[in-house]
Amino acid sequence: MEAIILVGHGSPKKDANRMDFVGRWLHAMLHPGCAGSCVRFCYLQFAKPDLKEAIGEAVKDLNPRRIVIHPYFLSPGMHVTRDIPEIIEEARALYHGVDFICTEPLGVASGIVRVARERIEAAGGIAPLEIEKRSFAKIMEEAERKLGKIPASVRPVVQRVVHATGDFEFINTLIFHPDAVAAGLDAIKRGMDIVTDVNMARVGINEKTLSRFGGKAVCGMDGAPGGDVKTKTSQDKSSKTRAERGIGLAARHPNAGIIAIGNAPTALYECMSLINRGEIKPGLVIGVPVGFVRAVEAKALLASMDFPFITNAGRKGGSAVAAAIVNALLVLAGRARENEHENKNVS
């Protein structure tokens, strides 16, 4: 058994003593899924526990064969070169059979320098669009290095999904119908509405940009404009979920151009059924429901369809993913409009 003890300086300002946070973070990185207390923290001054107490508690609780002590200091000053080693020597004399190891302090590591650069850049007041631009650049740098090329036609969509989720797995799992992006842009440019299965997806859509094209975001849970999702028709019995009934009503709205489903697999099944029966004909279906029950199967079925769709393989997904895909299409539509205006002005 090994115990790890992080040693911070400590401060009279109580809320500055956050070695507990660092300890939990490091524990999760070193021992994923571990529920024990093998990574601990302490202070040299002003706060408890101190290093002597932390060592004693670790020996009592864990009976470790080895204790690794890491000075959470930037440079090897007197605390690192004198105070901590003296306490360790006292502990060696008290706890026979325990091997004590003291690491180097944080020092001038490349990771520390990167953090310093990030802090300096942040202090410069980077504009939101610049932050987004840099984020996308980092995403693509990571993607190019680890996972290869992403087709240019879908790259903006993939970028935004990874940016919204922090999950690079979507680079491998997102699936696009060949006409998906073009069909989505056409629906947006024609001022068509976007129907979502839940309000969480609707509120994530940039409605200000969407409104510039004449469209709006509509939640299936609210039913079609002027309708009521709670109302049951003779053909729509109680066996259907609210999400199914909502999509059934909202998707029939004449101006429904894109259907975006990020939560309910039942809504996606209903949407595909309506399309296959010829009752609705949206320009694009975005189906990325998250979950363990029927979500994988619903997305796999969508991936086999011959109408324009965007989906992903596996359990992951969600309203944030659905909204990110829509917002990526809105950005592309905006750029296309700007290019068209520029070309007209040039001609």
Phi, psi (degrees; rounded to nearest 5) at 252: -80, -10
List C-alpha distances in Å: 327 to 36, 77, 206, 258: 43, 51, 6, 12
Q: What is the dihedral of CA 246, 292, 288, 179, to 10 degrees?
A: -110
Selecting among 9, 31, 79, 163, the annotated active-site residue is 163
- Residue found under tokens 């944080």: 106
Spatial separation of the C-alpha atoms in residues 249 and 265, rounded to whole Å: 16
Element (H, E) at 192: none
Q: Has 177 been annotated as catalytic?
A: no
SS (H, E, C) 245-263: HHHHHHCCCCCEEEEEECC
**What one-character-per-residue DSSP string does 87-152 give?**
HHHHHHHHSTTPEEEE---S-S-HHHHHHHHHHHHHHT---HHHHHHHHHHHHHHHHHHHH----T
167 Cβ contact list (under 8 Å, min separation 6): 316
In the chain, what is the straight-line distance between the N-terminal and C-terminal CA atoms, in Å?
76
Indicate if the alpha-carbon torsion angle 333, 339, 344, 347 is positive or negative.
negative
Catalytically annotated residues: 163
